Structure 1
């Protein structure tokens, strides 16, 4: 089971994202649920770095991501980082809805897209 935990600040902005575990949908190397979650989270980290020049403090290793959002980012950059984070969390939520026996989400999951 993949576990996703989203923590937000009092303004509703994502402050921390933790992802751990393995989906168990299929054998290693064939697991499309693990592949989807990995693609979403790695794209988040790489997009922040490549597109925004922001290195998010993160620990990432086999089946685990713990990412903290720096509170002192300039407003414009912070807004862009938040958009990428919301997109990632939305993708993770959609994956959890589709594969509810393999991905669970906890914490303050829904953000700007909570009408979905």
Structure 2
């Protein structure tokens, strides 16, 4: 199962980090549409933040694991744009979860 954890700030509810780990095992490697979908959305979001906004979030990547931390010091307008991309990611992940919930779990926590 793929586990995604979205961490939000206690002060404003904004996303401060996200983590994706595990494998869906929906199908064999190379054909697993759940893993591919989650990876595309998770990695696509960090790539979009970098390419469109020039923000390079701290991140750790290795086989079956992605952890992304949003920098604390960002211009307010840019921060809101980062949040829009992150909230879009959450919507996309929840769409995958609706169809493949036995292979993907999403947890939102407050920090």
* Structure 2 match to 1:107: 108
Q: For residues 35 and 74 of structure 1, what CA distance do their matches in structure 2 show? A: 33
Query: What TM-score results when the alignment is normalised by the length of structure 1?
Result: 0.89
> Gaps (5+ residues) in structure 1?
110-116
Tell me if 1:23 matches 2:24: yes
Q: For residues 60 and 79 of structure 1, what CA distance do their matches in structure 2 show? A: 25
| Aligned-residue offset at 1:14 | 0.2
Give the total of aligned pairs: 109
* SS of 1:73 mapped into structure 2: coil
Q: For residues 85 and 60 of structure 1, what CA distance do their matches in structure 2 show? A: 18
Query: What TM-score results when the alignment is normalised by the length of structure 2?
Result: 0.93
* Superposed CA offset, 1:44-80 (max 9, x none): 1111111111101011222211111111111011001
- Superposition map of 1:60-75 within 5 A: 60-75=61-76
Q: For residues 4 and 85 of structure 1, what CA distance do their matches in structure 2 show? A: 13
- Superposition map of 1:1-116 within 5 A: 1-10=1-10, 11-108=12-109
Aligned structure 1 segments of 4 or more residues deviating by more than 2 angstroms: none
RMSD over aligned CA atoms reads 1.3
* Structure 2 match to 1:114: none
Q: For residues 83 and 108 of structure 1, what CA distance do their matches in structure 2 show? A: 18
* Superposed CA offset, 1:22-65 (max 9, x none): 00000000000011011101111111111111101011222211
Q: For residues 96 and 60 of structure 1, what CA distance do their matches in structure 2 show? A: 22
